[in-house]
């Protein structure tokens, strides 16, 4: 199989966009059905190209960067990015962790557009914020439960806290107090 290029993917995207533009103009329902079939075929081709490209790029990674499912890349934020994250998410972060399937972030990070990077950074920051909020809420709830004078409840909570999967491992993650 020959190498899949970004140009091939861009061409497939253009075809899908072309069909979508045609769909806006049709008035005859019979034309709509034919167009839907073309769109389905074009979208399937685009999906196959994208999956093939992702696998092809992952295969080019050095062994230490390859993982079976996900690759995590830590990105140090610029002052501008830090301010954007602080303004939009409410967190003052120095870095975020970008997670991508099959190491694609490792290969495409340097060539990513600033818009794509900023979008990915905000998404990662929102995830950190959501995890912090969930952890805080869980800790508040556990503190309320600790205040109850029932020794059986306290014993159950102590046992549960020792389980790394308790609350989905939320208390074990960075910033969590853990057992």
Considering the domain architecture, whether residues 56 and 74 belong to the same structural domain is answered as no
Residue 46's CB: how many other CB atoms inside 10 A? 18
In this structure, what are the phi and psi dihedrals at residue 174, rounded to the nearest 5 degrees?
-50, 130
Considering the domain architecture, whether residues 49 and 87 belong to the same structural domain is answered as no
Considering the domain architecture, whether residues 75 and 45 belong to the same structural domain is answered as no
Does the model's pTM come out above 0.85?
no
Judge whether 21 lies within some domain: yes
Judge whether 13 lies within some domain: yes
Q: Tens digit of pLDDT for each residue in 120-174?
A: 899 999 999 998 888 888 888 778 777 777 788 778 878 877 877 777 666 665 4
Residue 10's domain comprises 6-60
Q: Tens digit of pLDDT for each residue in 51-91?
A: 888 778 777 766 655 555 677 788 899 999 999 999 999 99
Considering the domain architecture, whether residues 166 and 122 belong to the same structural domain is answered as yes
Rounded to the nearest 5 degrees, what angle is found at the Cα of 136, between the Cα atoms of 134 and 142? 100
Judge whether 115 lies within some domain: yes
Considering the domain architecture, whether residues 85 and 53 belong to the same structural domain is answered as no
pLDDT above 50 (res 179): no
Query: How many separate domains does the chain show?
Result: 2
- 86-94, long-range: CB < 8 A, 24+ apart: 88/122, 88/125, 89/122, 89/125, 89/126, 89/128, 89/129, 90/129, 91/125, 91/128, 91/129, 91/132, 93/125, 93/128
Judge whether 178 lies within some domain: no
Considering the domain architecture, whether residues 92 and 140 belong to the same structural domain is answered as yes
Judge whether 56 lies within some domain: yes
Considering the domain architecture, whether residues 41 and 106 belong to the same structural domain is answered as no
Judge whether 1 lies within some domain: no
Closest CA to 19 of 38, 41, 45: 38
Q: What's the rounded mean pLDDT across residues 5-11?
A: 87
Q: Tens digit of pLDDT for each residue in 38-55?
A: 888 888 888 888 888 877
pLDDT above 70 (res 175): no
Considering the domain architecture, whether residues 55 and 87 belong to the same structural domain is answered as no
Considering the domain architecture, whether residues 153 and 83 belong to the same structural domain is answered as yes
Considering the domain architecture, whether residues 27 and 109 belong to the same structural domain is answered as no
Considering the domain architecture, whether residues 83 and 163 belong to the same structural domain is answered as yes
Considering the domain architecture, whether residues 75 and 141 belong to the same structural domain is answered as yes
Domain end marker among 24, 39, 60: 60
Judge whether 124 lies within some domain: yes
């Amino acid at each position: 199989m020959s190498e899949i290029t970004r140009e091939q993917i861009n061409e497939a995207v253009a075809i899908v966009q072309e069909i979508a533009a045609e769909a806006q103009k049709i008035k005859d329902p019979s034309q709509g059905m034919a167009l839907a079939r073309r769109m389905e075929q074009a979208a399937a081709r685009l999906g196959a190209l994208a999956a093939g490209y992702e696998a092809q790029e992952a295969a080019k990674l050095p062994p230490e960067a390859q993982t079976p499912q996900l690759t995590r890349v830590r990105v140090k934020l610029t002052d501008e990015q830090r301010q954007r994250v602080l303004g939009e998410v409410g967190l003052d972060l120095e870095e975020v962790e970008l997670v991508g399937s099959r190491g694609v972030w490792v290969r495409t990070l340097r060539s990513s557009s600033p818009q794509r990077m900023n979008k990915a950074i905000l998404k990662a920051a929102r995830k950190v914020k959501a995890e912090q909020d969930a952890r805080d809420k869980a800790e508040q709830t556990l503190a309320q439960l600790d205040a109850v004078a029932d020794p059986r409840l306290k014993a159950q909570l102590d046992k549960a806290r020792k389980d790394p999967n308790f609350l989905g491992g939320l208390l074990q993650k960075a910033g969590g107090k853990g057992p």
